[in-house]
Amino acid sequence: MRISTKMNAAINAQIGMELASSNQYLNTAAYFAGRALRKLAEFFFKQSDEEREHALRLIRYLNDMDGTVEIPAIGAARSSFDSAEEAIQLAYDSEVKITASINALMEQAIEERDFATQEMLRWFVNEQVEEVSTMDDMLKIARQVGERNIIMVEAYLVHEEV
Ligand code: FEO
């Protein structure tokens, strides 16, 4: 194994977090699909795929480093929401949490002078800037239009092609 046991465990925990996020976005997409808000559903299905890709990226890295992949137990994702804003708020909060977790991994990699892991994590650091920003925009739009006019978010998504 070319990374520390501690780093290996922390990356496995991160894989769990990315997969939990992928599952949550599937539920969130289904929630929007159930409300016939197709663009919002499409947006979250796409986000779910991206989260799975993030998990795969970490799995491939552990394989490359001769580490051990141990996917942790993943809790149930939330499936019902009182409003679109609540569903999007959950996504925003989750991205903020994932960012903090990536930053903690980076701190650990720096502490361990693990340059390969630092290099691998740099991609995630940049990706999180984009992901938090995207969810922040979505949340701002949802708040501005309000639940009664949430259909307008669909038009926003067609226009922005996010
Ligand atoms: Fe994989 Fe949205 O963080």
Residue 162 has a pLDDT of 64
CA 108, 52, 141, 85 dihedral sign is: negative
Residue nearest to atom 1 of ligand 1 (CA): 51
5-161 maps to CATH 3.40.50.1820 = no
Each residue's pLDDT tens digit in the chain (162 positions)?
899 999 999 999 999 999 999 999 999 999 999 999 999 999 999 999 999 999 999 999 999 999 999 999 999 999 999 999 999 999 999 999 999 999 999 999 999 999 999 999 999 999 999 999 999 999 999 999 999 999 999 988 988 766
Whether residue 21 has its Cβ less than 6 Å from ligand 1? yes
Residue 51 CA: which ligand 1 atom is closest?
A: 1
Q: Nearest 5°: CA angle at 26, between 21 and 15?
A: 25
Whether residue 131 has its Cβ less than 6 Å from ligand 1? yes
CB within 8 Å of 102: residues ≥ 6 apart: 14, 121, 124, 125, 128
The rounded Å distance from CA 59 to ligand 1 centre is 15
The rounded Å distance from CA 48 to ligand 1 centre is 9
Residue 159 has a pLDDT of 84
Residue 161 has a pLDDT of 65
Residue 156 has a pLDDT of 87
Residue 38 has a pLDDT of 96
Residue 131 CA: which ligand 1 atom is closest?
A: 2
* Pick from 105, 84, 95: nearest CA to 150: 84
H runs (alpha helix) in 35-114: 38-64, 84-111
Q: How far apart are CA 101 and CA 16, in angstroms?
A: 12
Whether residue 102 has its Cβ less than 6 Å from ligand 1? no
One-letter amino acid at 115 equals F
* Pick from 123, 45, 31: nearest CA to 83: 31
Q: What is the pTM of this model?
A: 0.96
